[in-house]
């Protein structure tokens, strides 16, 4: 999401590198929510303090131009692998990851380890935590991944996530292997690259129609297919295809198990502009984890998954053929799907919607933290106001009245418990994502989440413990919103 130009803009917004943090501290500052912009240097790759007995997971990622077979539809795109299935990067909580990115793309890239409370220098944000990884060059990320759960990784460069550049990252919990018989990792995505308009062209059109950010409430409903979703205006872009593990619904992946097996689903929304509503025909799902962390288990017929969100659920599968379907919320288009096959039966047409998607669905923010996942109780020492602003016409999205590059970073102190009071002043839903931390939502029994969907005009309070110093991005996970300006950073 950052280029050199953007980095220069960021530094300019900070008042140049010569402004010393000490001088800023000495001056009497008004202390509203966002405070002193400090100077920031890209952290150096210091040696890691690895936990005793940590295993090292070594891996190489080669982002490159590829032709993916989406199931009879060939897409010339960019990806890390020749297939978007079976490429889970896996380790245990506490493992040391050493991942070299060998950039074979014609342009610069980066890799962000979404949801991982890693050290800042490996967070993968060009212009903030590292220089971009130039074309035909390599960079090695080195970090300890402290918490078990379902995560994924993707570039933090332009709109590259809207190509095939993503993969799941699963961290197992050695103390809690789970009692399931099988596990399915399912990545949902909205697909246009190589078959429709390119993500760069989509963004260029938005940019050509961009303008100033409106302040305050905005009732513009300029998005597509609006009005059909209880979530408000759910997306801006109409995609030719919606896919599960890189396959269009006419040529879906098949997931097999024995009747009666307990299966753990790890659902990841890697989409750029699409909230999915997910269900499994003939079954109810028991939600067990949100964004990697345990929740009080709850049964649901269907689940919403916004961009950047992950949900783990268990299900005891029946005997037959079933459809796991992911419908693009508020959009037309054939829902993505995978086929669950445990016995005999026929596969329904791709356009058949499963009845489970006809009613209400669980929202991630309505879940409640399991006791074991909670942060220790503490009253916030500082509250930061985070207002989401913007509209479709002219196309502009921002935070606290500013687009990224003109923003004032949020400043806090190490060790603080900080409350972010996030208010969506727009008529669109925005999944807000924080890097390097997992929030605790006081309104949801301390629910832990790194990606929180804010519905139109909704306010959600989200606390974090400032235990991982650095410069951490806070942004909407709609990549077009983030790239036009709905992004800022938190620094300490
Ligand atoms: Cu947004």
Distance 52 CA to ligand 1 centre (A): 41
3-class secondary structure, 405: coil
pLDDT at position 28 = 32
Phi-psi region of 365 (alpha: psi -120 to 50; beta: other; left: phi over 0): alpha
CATH 2.60.40.420 fits 56-176, yes or no: yes
Distance 2 CA to ligand 1 centre (A): 17
pLDDT at position 379 = 95
What residues flank ion ligand 1 with Cβ within 5 A?
430, 476, 478, 481
Is the CB of residue 491 less than 8 Å from the CB of residue 129?
no
The predicted model gives 27-31 an average pLDDT of 33
Distance 12 CA to ligand 1 centre (A): 25
Q: What is the pLDDT of residues 144-181, one digit of tens each?
A: 999 999 999 999 999 999 999 999 999 999 888 888 99
Q: Decide if 56-176 and 186-198+224-371 have a common fold.
A: yes
Measured CA to CA, the distance from residue 341 to residue 338 in angstroms comes to: 10
* Per-residue pLDDT band at 42 (split at 50, 70, 90): low
The predicted model gives 462-487 an average pLDDT of 97
36 has a pLDDT exceeding 50:
no
The predicted model gives 222-250 an average pLDDT of 83
Distance 93 CA to ligand 1 centre (A): 31
66 has a pLDDT exceeding 90:
yes
Distance 11 CA to ligand 1 centre (A): 24
CA distances from 268 to 265, 365, 416 (A): 10, 16, 31
> What proportions of the chain, in percent to the nearest 5, are helix, strand and coil?
10, 40, 50
221 has a pLDDT exceeding 60:
no
Q: How many CB atoms lie within 10 A of CB 301?
A: 18
The helix or strand, by DSSP H or E, that contains position 186, with its residue range, turns out to be strand 182-191
Distance 457 CA to ligand 1 centre (A): 13
pLDDT at position 146 = 93
Q: pLDDT: is 91 or 17 the higher one?
A: 91
Q: How many CB atoms lie within 10 A of CB 88?
A: 15
Distance 220 CA to ligand 1 centre (A): 14
Distance 260 CA to ligand 1 centre (A): 40
Measured CA to CA, the distance from residue 118 to residue 123 in angstroms comes to: 7
Distance 67 CA to ligand 1 centre (A): 30
* Per-residue pLDDT band at 53 (split at 50, 70, 90): confident
Distance 117 CA to ligand 1 centre (A): 23
Measured CA to CA, the distance from residue 290 to residue 295 in angstroms comes to: 7
The predicted model gives 109-119 an average pLDDT of 97
The predicted model gives 392-420 an average pLDDT of 95
* Per-residue pLDDT band at 4 (split at 50, 70, 90): very low
Distance 310 CA to ligand 1 centre (A): 17
Task: Work out the percent of the chain whose per-residue pLDDT is above 70.
Answer: 87
Distance 328 CA to ligand 1 centre (A): 16
33 has a pLDDT exceeding 60:
no
The predicted model gives 196-221 an average pLDDT of 84
* Per-residue pLDDT band at 44 (split at 50, 70, 90): low
Distance 94 CA to ligand 1 centre (A): 32
The helix or strand, by DSSP H or E, that contains position 398, with its residue range, turns out to be strand 396-399
Distance 125 CA to ligand 1 centre (A): 19
pLDDT at position 50 = 74
Distance 283 CA to ligand 1 centre (A): 32
Distance 477 CA to ligand 1 centre (A): 6
pLDDT at position 229 = 86
Distance 479 CA to ligand 1 centre (A): 8
Distance 387 CA to ligand 1 centre (A): 12
Distance 319 CA to ligand 1 centre (A): 41
270 has a pLDDT exceeding 70:
yes
Q: What is the pLDDT of residues 424-466, one digit of tens each?
A: 999 999 999 999 999 999 999 999 999 999 999 999 999 999 9
The predicted model gives 328-354 an average pLDDT of 97
pLDDT at position 362 = 96
Distance 102 CA to ligand 1 centre (A): 31
Distance 454 CA to ligand 1 centre (A): 9
pLDDT at position 27 = 31
Distance 476 CA to ligand 1 centre (A): 5
Distance 234 CA to ligand 1 centre (A): 9
pLDDT at position 16 = 27
pLDDT at position 54 = 84
First to last CA, the chain: 21
pLDDT at position 254 = 97
Distance 428 CA to ligand 1 centre (A): 7
Structure tokens at 260: 């009666």
186-198+224-371 to CATH, choices 2.40.170.20, 3.40.1260.10, 2.60.40.420, 1.20.1370.20: 2.60.40.420
31 has a pLDDT exceeding 70:
no
Distance 177 CA to ligand 1 centre (A): 35
Distance 207 CA to ligand 1 centre (A): 15
Distance 18 CA to ligand 1 centre (A): 33
**What are the domain boundaries of the chain?**
56-176, 186-198+224-371
The predicted model gives 404-422 an average pLDDT of 95
Distance 431 CA to ligand 1 centre (A): 6
The helix or strand, by DSSP H or E, that contains position 208, with its residue range, turns out to be helix 199-208
Distance 376 CA to ligand 1 centre (A): 30
Distance 137 CA to ligand 1 centre (A): 32
Q: What is the pLDDT of residues 386-405, one digit of tens each?
A: 999 999 999 999 999 999 99
Structure tokens at 479: 């990549």
pLDDT at position 235 = 86
């Amino acid at each position: 999401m950052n280029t050199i130009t953007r980095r220069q803009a960021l530094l300019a917004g900070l008042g140049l590198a010569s402004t010393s943090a000490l001088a800023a501290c000495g001056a009497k500052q008004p202390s509203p929510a966002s405070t002193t912009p400090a100077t920031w240097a890209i952290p150096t790759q210091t040696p890691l303090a690895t936990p005793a007995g940590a295993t090292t997971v070594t891996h190489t990622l080669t982002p490159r131009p590829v032709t993916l077979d989406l199931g009879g539809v060939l897409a010339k795109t960019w990806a890390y692998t020749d297939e978007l299935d079976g490429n889970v990067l896996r380790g245990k909580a506490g493992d040391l990851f050493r991942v070299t990115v060998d950039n074979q793309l014609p342009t610069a890239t980066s890799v962000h380890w979404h949801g991982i409370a890693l050290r800042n220098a490996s967070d993968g944000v060009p212009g903030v935590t590292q220089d971009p990884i130039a074309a035909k060059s390599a960079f090695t990320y080195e970090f300890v991944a402290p918490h078990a759960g379902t995560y994924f990784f993707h570039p933090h460069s332009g709109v590259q996530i809207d190509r095939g550049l993503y993969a799941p990252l699963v961290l197992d919990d050695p103390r809690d292997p789970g009692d399931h018989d099988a596990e399915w990792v399912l990545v949902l995505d909205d697909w246009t690259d190589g078959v429709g308009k390119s993500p760069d062209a989509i963004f260029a059109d938005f940019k050509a129609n961009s303008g100033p950010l409106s302040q305050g409430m905005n009732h513009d409903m300029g998005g597509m297919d609006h009005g059909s979703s209880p979530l408000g205006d759910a997306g801006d872009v109409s995609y030719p295809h919606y896919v599960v593990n890189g396959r269009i619904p006419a040529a879906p992946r098949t997931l097999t198990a024995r009747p009666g097996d307990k299966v753990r689903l790890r659902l990841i929304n890697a989409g750029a502009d699409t909230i999915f509503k997910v269900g499994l025909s003939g079954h109810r799902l028991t939600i067990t984890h949100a964004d990697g962390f345990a929740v009080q288990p709850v049964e649901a017929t269907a689940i919403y998954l916004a961009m950047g969100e992950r949900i783990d659920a268990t299900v005891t599968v029946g005997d037959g053929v079933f459809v796991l379907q992911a419908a693009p919320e508020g959009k037309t288009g054939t829902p993505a799907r995978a086929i669950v096959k445990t016995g005999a039966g026929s596969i329904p047409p791709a356009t058949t919607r499963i009845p489970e998607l006809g009613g209400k669905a669980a929202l991630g923010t309505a879940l409640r933290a399991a006791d074991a996942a909670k942060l220790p109780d503490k009253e916030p020492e500082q509250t930061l106001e985070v207002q989401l602003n913007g509209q479709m016409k002219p196309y502009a999205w921002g935070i606290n009245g500013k687009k990224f590059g003109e923003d004032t970073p949020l400043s806090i102190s190490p060790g603080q418990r900080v409350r972010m009071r996030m208010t969506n002043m727009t008529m669109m839903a925005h999944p807000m994502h924080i890097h390097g931390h997992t929030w605790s939502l006081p309104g949801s029994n301390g629910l832990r989440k790194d990606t929180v969907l804010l519905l139109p005009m909704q306010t959600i309070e989200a606390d974090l413990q400032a235990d991982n110093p650095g410069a951490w991005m806070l942004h909407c996970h709609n990549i077009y919103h983030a790239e036009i300006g709905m992004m800022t950073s938190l620094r300490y």
